[in-house]
Amino acid sequence: MDDGKIDKILDKYPSDPSSLIQVLLEIQSDLRWLPKKALAKVSEKLKVPLNRIQHITTFYKAFSLVPKGRHQIHVCTGTACHVRGAKRVLEVVQNTTGLKPGLTDQDFKFTLETVNCVGCCALGPVMVIDGEYHGKMAPAKSEDVLKSYE
C-alpha cells in the first residue's frame, strides 16, 4: 500500500473528525478500497476511534473494505431507468461479466454495482463505467460497451 498517498490526502484536510468522510472518499477513489492500514492511519491523524470509522465505512455505500476491480460498472436501476428497461440491461451485464451486483471478478477487472440514480434520467437506461456515462442502453449496446474495456 502506498503510505505516501494516504499522507498526502490527510495533509489536505484539517486534522479533526469532521474531515473523516472527505478523507475516506479520497482514499477510496485513489486505491479503490479502504485497507486496514489506511484506516489505522486515518484514525490516528483525525483522532477518531477505529470502531467509529468501521461504523462509517459500513454505513455509507461509497466505501469498500475489499479491493474493487479496475473498472467499476454502475448500472442504474432507479425508477426512471427501470421503466425504460434497466432490468434487461443489468441481465446482459451480469451475463457478460459473470458477476452479480456487489461482486468483483478474480482478475480484478470489473466490479458490478447497481445504483439508484445517477442524474441522467432523461437518457435511461444508464450505465456508468469509471465515471463515464453511457445512455440509452439497449442490451446489445451494453455488451459492446463492456467489450471496449480492457
Under DSSP, the state recorded for 104 is B
118 contributes a contact to ligand SF4 by CB under 6 A? yes
129 contributes a contact to ligand SF4 by CB under 6 A? no
State the number of CA atoms in the 13 A half-sphere of 77 facing the CB.
Answer: 13
User: Minimum distance between the CB of residue 49 and ligand SF4, rounded to whole angstroms?
Assistant: 36
Nearer to ligand SF4, 103 or 117 (CB): 117
145 contributes a contact to ligand SF4 by CB under 6 A? no
User: Minimum distance between the CB of residue 87 and other proteins, rounded to whole angstroms?
Assistant: 14
Per-residue exposure over 73-94, b if at least 16 CB sit within 10 Å of its own CB, e if not = bbbbbbebbeebebeebbebbe
Partner whose binding site includes residue 145, from ligand SF4, other proteins, none (CB under 5 to 8 Å by kind): none
- Residue length of the chain: 150
